[in-house]
Amino acid sequence: MKLRKKKLTPVRLTGKGAQVSLELAASLVVVFVLLFGTLQIFLWMNKRLVQRQQDYEAKRVEAANSPAEVQIDETNQAKYPKLNIFGQ
């Protein structure tokens, strides 16, 4: 039985599109993950910003009348959730 030498060039030519598709698919996944992460960070950051502003307004009087420094309680997870991009 005679072995025939396989022609590589056509294979390469026909596989190039698939390779690009694979890379594109992978990069798109990464881009979308980044976009999703950015969106999560955006929402988290702005929610905290609004929450902090509300708490600041609520604590104005206390802060002005207290001899000690008045700080916002950021341990309250309901009001200040930690940044969890892929979680809830």
Partner 1 sequence: MLSSFYKTFSLNNLKEDKPSGQISTLLILMIVVILIMILTTVNLGQLSLSTTNLSNVADNSSLYLASQLATRSYSIYRALGNSTSKCQSGGWASVFFAVVFAIVAVVVCYFVPVLTPYMVSIAAGAGAVGGAVGAAYAGTSVLQGAIQGGIIGASIGYGVSTGLETGAGAGNSLAASEINPALLEAGAPGVTAEQIAQYSALSAQYMATGSTIGAVAGGTLAASTATYNAYVADQNQAAAIAAASRMLNGLPNYDLYRESIFLQIFSQTVDDPNKDIDTDDLNGNGLIDEKIPHFLNYWSDRIKYLKGVIPTLESITDTFINGTLEDFKDYIQNEIEGTVDESYGSEGMPATSYTPGMLSKIGSEENITQNGSIAEVAEGLNLGFWDSQTDGSLEGIINGFNNFISEVEAIQAIDIGRLASNWQTYIKNFYNEDAGEKTADGATITDYYTTLEEVKGYLKDWQAEIVEGRNALPSCKMGNLTFSLEGSGNDCEPCGSTYCANDCIVSSGPDKSSIPCKFNFTLKGGTLDYNIDDEITPALSDIDTLIGKISNFQDAIKQYAKDMQNTYAAIESGYGGLNPATYSWTDSRGEHSIKAEVGNYQLASTITTSSGSWLKKTICVRMVNYSDDGTNSWVQITRQDPKSKDVKSGKISLGMWNPFFSGTITKKGKAYYSYDKVGLTN
Summarize as ranges the residues that interact with partner 1 (CB under 8 A).
24, 31, 35, 38-39, 42, 45-46, 49-50, 52-53, 56-57, 60-61, 64-65
CB distance 48 to 3 below 8 Å: no
Distances (CA, A) of 64 to 42, 67, 84: 32, 8, 34
Q: Which residues does 59 contact at the CB level (< 8 Å), separation at least 6?
A: 70, 72
Instruction: Output the smallest distance, CB 50 to partner 1, in A.
Output: 7
Nearer to partner 1 (CB atom), residue 11 or residue 30? 30
Nearer to partner 1 (CB atom), residue 50 or residue 83? 50
